[in-house]
Amino acid sequence: MINYTNVLNYLLMFLLVFLVSLAAVFVWAVFFRPKTNDQLVEISDQSLPSIPEAIDLSRLPRPAMPLIDRQDELQQLQQAFLNPKTYLTILVAAGGIGKSALSDTWLKQMQPNYPGAQRVFAWSFYSQGSHNTQTSSVPFFQVALPFFGWTAEMPKDDVAKGRALAKCLQSQSFILILDGLEPLQHPTHFLDGELKDTALQAFFEEVRLYGLAQSPSLILISSRQPLVELQAWEAERYVPIDLQTLPVSDGAQVLASLGVQGTETELAQASEEMGGHALALVLLGNLLGNKFAGRIERRDQLPALWKERKQGSHALRVLQFYAERYWQAETPELAFLQLLGLFDRPMTLREKEVLVKQADCAKPLRALDDVGWELLERHLEAAGLLNHPQPLLGKEGSDRTVPRLTKEGLGVVPPLLTKEGPGVVSRYHWDCHPLIRDYFGQRFQDTQPDFFRQAHRVLFDYYQAVPTQHQPDTLEELESLYRAVVHGCLAGEYQKALEEVYRERILRGKEFYSQNKLGAYSQDLTALAAFFPQGWSHPVQQGLSEATQAWLLATASFCLMSLGRLGEAVAPREASLEMAVKQEDWKNTSIYAQTLIDLYLPLGQLAKATTVARHGIQDAEQSGDLAMQMVSHAYLATTLHRQGQLDLAQQSFQRAEQFQQERQPEYPQLYSLPGFQYCALLLDQAQSVAEFEAVLARGEYGLKIKTTALLLDYAVNSLTLARVLMQLQRDDESASYFDQAVAGIRKAGKVNDLPYFLIDRANFHLRPSRLHLDAAAHDLQEADSLIRRCGMKLYAVDCQLAWCRYYLARGEKATARECWQRAQMGMEVTGYGLREGEVRELGEQI
């Protein structure tokens, strides 16, 4: 008899085994079976970070050599990038030590995904510096802001540009490389090596205050000197890496890798002789390998080391050998390197074509055909004297376009397909290491000054002809004219560069178009620097009258002041005033006195400001110019107002208004800056609603009058209205005008005036009826940063008083007392008597 129970059990057991086997097969198939190529790619794509949305490394200089060792530094860079608490790393080393090689190697190790970074961007500020031209961050921001997603109108104010970039970076993961920052830094013996560039100062300060929200992210800087601004940062937020020269053994390895033949002892000795300087070792290795069959003993051909062991002096020995012993005077290689020495940036295709055709020094190059040019470039590349061309690639060779230098300048070009294959780009620019460019440029100027000036004259003429309009309207169109000014000065054509290009085409005469309409103080200063090879107090004299020199001093000082570089602006302003007095040019003397007061006031030098103001009135009277007399009395009134002498200030303003009525009866009240300053006094004196409304009417009157300084006038009149409306407790209207005033002063590019706009708005936010602590703190932090950077001791008193109110509102009396004490001390040092009442009132509260 069949046992159905047993049969059923066997069937169930069989089914269970079958199901287990089936499950095992499924697990093997999914998790253990070898993958096909397609499956491997799919899993790889899922496990690795995606390729960045945008990559532009086209402006990063290619290193002259591969990296030797530096494993510790590479690890530091990687850890800094992955650490969410670290925002910035700075590589500090002399020129030619290997900063570029380190950055390049780290980036290559990160390719193709740059783990987690959405955008990767690099910019080089390298400038040779021998011409004393001044590099600007303007081109950097013009490209970097759109690259990182800025879609609004390009800010005209430098501070706004820096803040805008920091804001863009807060919303994404990125790598930003700022290579060769030293042209934008003061020498270490002046102002401790602070940044000269206002936009970058604002950028770094904004990052310090508000950080980076997305990780991994990193700002990587390289410079020949420390970034003093980092002293205000928290230690964990940045990583300084000081690169040292190569150890003797590593230097010997460099020489061996370049084909130099010798014993270990000989190679080590040569490495030691070159001071472990990476660029010097590469140049020596290339020289011995290419010219002397790698024989190490032939290094005795090099000139002796300079007595002054300046940065890169070992490399200069090799360059001197090429220039003085190896090449003949009219060798094409030497002629080409001299052309590169005319620039503080890469030479573009169009510049090369113009120079080869018209520059007398380029005669040895004119006979070269395509093969000859190719051989020339290969010779220089093999020697390490010319950078190799960089392929233009997007995402791993995609056809994405990226902004970069094109044959016509800065633009956007797609990757090119040449006969050599994808990713190979025809040369659009030529460049070399800054030490090499500096050496050949300086040697060219010293040994062949006539040819040097004639070559710059060619560039001067070329850049004047680039714009389609005689007086271009935009900064992009003006760029070639700014370059024309610099090359004109280097050609010795100072008068033409000043009168025919800068004054006529850039400033548009007395209109001061570039400054008043475009706020281009930074660009103007870059051009003006070419007239000051010995510093801001000493303009060139060649072909320029004393009156013109005084004008140059005054204009440079004004640009420096407008960029917040007040300390630097004083000396040229004092020099211009002294020259004008000497010439008995009373009208300009009065003008220069007024702008000197504009410097003395925020710096807290009220006694000096008053003395200059009184002399300015006398000079204005001698000029007989009613406008100068009006403004001079208004300036004296302003200095008296700051010292708390309200009655005397009132008398001076009334005298100024009498001159105004005499010169322009149709506009009987003061307007523009004098009107704003008078309104400030009237507000301090006002007690009744009628008196406040009278000031309100003056502010509205000022807005209706059109002057050449539209941006500034709009800002100061808006601030007047905001202040009055606040006193009348019309808070919504006041808030709107405060915002318009701050936006307006930013648009006007007046960094020196921005702090008191921000402080006034912060005080509005601290009113008990409209308390907004976060907004107040934001304004005060920005104002505080500007005040410290520019040395504005007067505004520091106002800022500390506002901080005192802020901490009182938070109930933090101890901190409020510290701020109050700083304000009291600042008031005593500067003689800022206007604030005595506020200091006394706040002192009673704490």
Residue spans per domain, the chain: 4-47, 54-242, 245-326, 453-588, 759-846
The pLDDT tens digits of the residues spanning 278-298 come to 999 999 999 998 888 888 988
One DSSP character per residue, 64-78 reads: SS---S-HHHHHHHH
Options 3.30.360.10, 3.90.170.10, 1.10.3720.10, 3.40.50.300; CATH of 54-242: 3.40.50.300
Confidence of residue 307 (pLDDT cuts 50, 70, 90): very low
Of the ranges 504-518, 587-601, 632-646, 703-717, which is most confident? 632-646
Q: Which residues pair with 411 in a beta bridge?
A: 404
The pLDDT tens digits of the residues spanning 125-157 come to 875 444 445 577 888 999 999 999 999 988 877
Entry pTM: 0.77
Burial of 398 (0-12, 13-18, 19+ CB in 10 A): exposed
One DSSP character per residue, 758-772 reads: HHHHHHHHTSGGG--
593: nearest Cα among 612, 607, 575 = 612
Burial 761-789 (b: 16+ CB within 10 A, else e): bbbbbbbeeeeeeebbbbbbbbbbbbbeb
Q: Coil, strand, or helix at residue 175?
A: strand
d(CA 298, CA 601) in angstroms, rounded, equals 64
Q: Coil, strand, or helix at residue 497?
A: helix
Q: How are beta strands 347-348 and 174-179 bridged, if at all?
A: unpaired
Q: How are beta strands 119-124 and 54-56 bridged, if at all?
A: parallel
Amino acid at 515: Q
More confident residue, 711 or 455: 455
CA dihedral 625, 628, 630, 631 (to 10 degrees): 170
557: tokens are 């000082």
Query: What CA–CA distances, in Å, run from 820 to 120, 768, 771, 809, 835?
Result: 45, 19, 20, 14, 12
Confidence of residue 475 (pLDDT cuts 50, 70, 90): confident
16: tokens are 């269970």
Tokens 């290689």, residue located: 333
216: tokens are 């991994």
d(CA 180, CA 91) in angstroms, rounded, equals 10
423-427, 681-685, 806-810: segment of lowest average pLDDT: 423-427
185: tokens are 């830094």
pLDDT of residue 197: 86
The pLDDT tens digits of the residues spanning 74-90 come to 999 999 999 999 999 99
Question: What integer is the mean pLDDT of 96-112?
Answer: 91
Q: Which residues contact 470 (CB under 8 A, 6 or more apart)?
A: 505
Asked whether the predicted pLDDT for residue 25 surpasses 70, the reply is: no
Q: Which residues pair with 430 in a beta bridge?
A: 347
The pLDDT tens digits of the residues spanning 190-211 come to 667 888 888 899 899 999 988 9
Asked whether the predicted pLDDT for residue 300 surpasses 60, the reply is: yes
Q: Coil, strand, or helix at residue 281?
A: helix
Amino acid at 608: K
pLDDT of residue 14: 53
Give, in degrees to the nearest 5, the angle at Cα 332 between 331 and 337.
105
pLDDT of residue 126: 76
pLDDT of residue 52: 81
- Give the single-character DSSP code of 195: B
519: left (phi over 0), alpha (psi -120 to 50) or beta: left
pLDDT of residue 302: 74
Q: Where are the alpha helices (DSSP H) in 359-407?
A: 370-383
Q: Which residues contact 123 (CB under 8 A, 6 or more apart)?
A: 59, 60, 140, 143, 144, 177, 178, 179
- Please state the three-class secondary structure of 532-549 as a single string: CCCCCCCCCCCCCCHHHH
- CB of 810 closer than 8 Å to CB of 773: yes
d(CA 733, CA 735) in angstroms, rounded, equals 5
Mean pLDDT of the chain: 86
- CB of 191 closer than 8 Å to CB of 569: no
Q: DSSP E strands: which ranges in 617-765?
A: none
Confidence of residue 519 (pLDDT cuts 50, 70, 90): confident
120-134, 277-291, 552-566, 730-744: segment of lowest average pLDDT: 120-134
752: nearest Cα among 192, 184, 163, 159 = 159
Tokens 């510049």, residue located: 351
Amino acid at 289: G
Of the ranges 38-52, 60-74, 738-752, which is most confident? 738-752
First to last CA, the chain: 107
Q: Which residues contact 175 (CB under 8 A, 6 or more apart)?
A: 81, 107, 110, 114, 117, 119, 120, 121, 217, 218, 220
Query: What is the total residue count of the chain?
Result: 846
CB atoms within 10 A of CB 114: 22
pLDDT of residue 413: 33
d(CA 686, CA 720) in angstroms, rounded, equals 13
Burial 195-229 (b: 16+ CB within 10 A, else e): bbbbbbbbbbbbbbeebbeeebbbbbbbbbbbbeb
- CB of 52 closer than 8 Å to CB of 117: yes
